[in-house]
Amino acid sequence: MRRSQGGGLRGLDRVNLKRVHTSCPRSTIDVAAKDDLNWSDLDRRAVDTVRVLAMDAVEKAGNGHPGTAMSLAPAAYLLFNKVMRHDPTDPLWAARDRFVLSCGHSSLTLYIQLYLAGFGLEVDDLASLRQWDSLTPGHPEYGHTPGVEVTTGPLGQGIGNAVGMAMAARRERGLLDPDAADGASIFDHHVYAMCSDGDIEEGVSHESSAVAGVQKLGNLTVIYDDNEISIEDDTRIAKNEDVGARYAAYGWHVQTVDWRQGDPEKGDYNEDVEALWAAIQEAKAVTDKPSFIVLRTIIGWPAPNKQNTGKIHGSALGADEVKATKEILGFDPNRPFDVAPEVLEHTRQAAARGREQHAEWTKAFEAWAAGNEEGKKLFDRLSTRSLPEGWTSALPEFPADEKGLATRAASGKVLDALAPVLPELWGGSADLAESNNTTMKGEPSFIPAEYATKAFPGHEYGRTLHFGIREHGMGSILNGIAANGLTRPYGGTFLVFSDYMRGAVRLSALMKLPVTYVWTHDSIGLGEDGPTHQPIETLTALRAIVGLDVVRPADANETAWAWRGALEHTDRPTALALSRQNLPTIDRSKYASAEGVLKGGYILSEASTGEPKVILIGTGSEVSICLAAQERLEAEGTPTRVVSMPCQEWFFEQDTAYQQKVLPRGVKARVSVEAGIRMSWDRLIGDAGEAVSIEHYGASAPAKILFEQFGFTADNVVAKANAALAKVGEITGHTTGN
């Protein structure tokens, strides 16, 4: 069996011309190999060392994904040691190129490169793969391991994250250095991603990749590991599309680098690193399209018995196969985690190169800063996610108004007011801008000028984002924007369609990214569109996502304070659940200030005696119903407190004294009022509590009719309050109502 070992060139004649297939046009072209690649024997040995470390780490852990890490070893090493600009001694350097391992199951593909390049990982960390308290968890985790840019593992998400990072890089350039020549800004950087069959099969990859094509993201390169193997073995059992043609149709620049030429069963496998290098160089040269490189590999190569099978995708090779593979590669089978000192010395030169690049960049940055005082101030502020002094004075205040305003409309007015003072704040909608009120007045769209429309004029440095009808892609892109570091993104759709983007929302919570979700049409109050569009279980389902703040404001002023709370939290995402219908703007001269929103729940209207017998807890459009019910109960002689609870998460963060002040332990008669299921309210209302809720799907009718038919009325709240009072013995001897 003929094999080219050690990165594919040992024992082979070096050639001056490499074959690369491209989609511009989609034909075979000749690309001269770059002489400055300088692919040495130490580089080849380093690549083989990657394979050995991947096998050993999974073998020691007893589980994991060795196959892709073995076959992608040359590609990952090429990126980290020859292509990307980064400083391993400062993983957060602003000018670094970003790397996203979308196929996060192959975490060793990234971890081993972080070790070899000197990002802070050592062999012991690789040997602790998937173990408690290690720096090498089963999937890469943002904020946990230096050099990991995003948390990946749920397939397809990383592609969307990479698209978001590339978009953010362009927006950041526009904020800080818009007049620099193409490719000449100190804030320019490239985004590289690796993906697998699983990534491109997940629908979220389609959504985000289509956006990238429209955006013409020339700073994005994705390498697709086309090995035709998944857990269920041969991918042809479920997949037969031409992935390269698909990406060409999106508007990407597509190339194919085929290491499987000939018959792989006969050993016809040539890891032609120079061909991949040439393809990457061409990708970088194409600045008006994102680039997609189809890299045809054999998973698990060169394992003699398990390569090219599903068995090597997600399980250890076994001692015999590890031994045989090490012998093929020229390593001692009896020495696990064997790294030659000269190999490590060679690969750790990446840190020295990075420091040199960093120093050169710092000189250029200082020269830029000297001539851009305001730009330097903005950069410093954005780098720390700080808000400008006095920014809250821009937040609008809304006068009392019985007719009121929909909270979605109030949110739009808040965005208009914040636009001049928070240039880092940008976003848009999944084709629902008019309904979500997510377009800042007068702000251009973020779009290549040739794609701007009469309704949405814009340019490449614009501010208003358009995701099309792609909620899940929008979520993954927003995460990438936030992870890139300098800006604050928001994205909108209807609340019920947050289900389409739940995977991305969960990841933003897991990564603690300050993304703001603007989800409107928050209840049966949206009316005639009916049960398909009316969220019933959605608020409770979102509250179940650990680390996501769900805020449902009661009126326009609560909406302004909700935006303030969202922006002041830099370590978590926030979901704003906003109404379609108008809500009365509460008279704050009569009732408490909306500032209480920042504490999650607050006493909006105190009982006449100051000592309530019953507490009504409402959110959103139901708070005004609670106020009406309070008047009835007080008239009947029942001291009643109304608590507005826009955000349970913020409320539970308050100290016990404050929580007890708002909801005294001794007042057990409580009623929650929310146009959704009861499930997330039991902790607040307790065993004696009652809930005005909806435990079934909605219907198509005007909102007023639906609220009456489904019991969201002052009459029903009063009845529930009396029922709770009866439970605790405050009412005896007469009917309490239904």
Q: Which of 207, 471, 649, 674 is catalytic?
A: 471
Q: Which helix (H) or strand (E) holds 214?
A: helix 203-215
Taking the CA atoms of 449, 452, 458 and 464 in sequence, report the sign of the dihedral they define: negative
pTM of the model: 0.94
Per the annotation, the verdict on 471 as an active-site residue is yes
- Sequence length of the chain is 738
**Count of other CB atoms within 10 angstroms of residue 541:** 18
Could you give phi then psi for residue 638, rounded to 5 degrees? -105, 110
DSSP 411-438: HHHHHHHHTTT-TTEEEEESS-HHHHT-
CB 294 within 8 A of CB 42: no
Q: Which of 457, 459, 494 is nearest to 474 (CA)?
A: 494
Residues with pLDDT less than 70, the chain: 1-35, 264, 267, 733-738
DSSP, res 287: -
Q: Residue 731's pLDDT is what?
A: 80
**Dihedral of alpha carbons 571, 413, 476, 100, sign:** negative
pLDDT at 264: 64
Output DSSP code: residue 82.
I
| Distance (Å) of CA 265 to CA 2, 261, 305, 315 | 10, 11, 11, 22
Nearest-angstrom CA–CA distance, 576 and 519 = 6
pLDDT, one tens digit per residue, over 150-178 is 999 999 999 999 999 999 999 999 999 99
Token representation of residue 454: 């009469």
Question: Phi and psi of 554, rounded to 5°?
Answer: -90, -20
Of 108, 294, 103, the closest CA to residue 199 belongs to 103
State how far the Cα of 412 lies from the Cα of 45, in Å rounded to an integer. Answer: 58
Q: Are strands 614-618 and 602-605 parallel, antiparallel or unpaired?
A: unpaired
DSSP state of 137: -
Of the candidates 671, 684, 662, the one whose C-alpha atom is nearest the C-alpha of residue 723 is 671
pLDDT tens-digit profile of 80-108?
A: 999 999 999 999 999 999 999 999 999 99
Structural contact between residues 110 and 102, judged by C-beta atoms closer than 8 angstroms:
no
β strands within 521-648, DSSP E: 549-551, 574-577, 582-585, 602-605, 614-618, 640-644
Cis omega (within 30 of 0) on the bond before 25? yes
Whole-angstrom distance, CA of residue 431 vs CA of residue 33: 44
Q: How far apart are CA 186 and CA 174, in angstroms?
A: 12
Residues 6+ apart with CB under 8 A from 121: 111, 114, 115, 135, 136, 145, 146, 147
Please identify which residue in the block is written with the tokens 């995402």.
Answer: 573
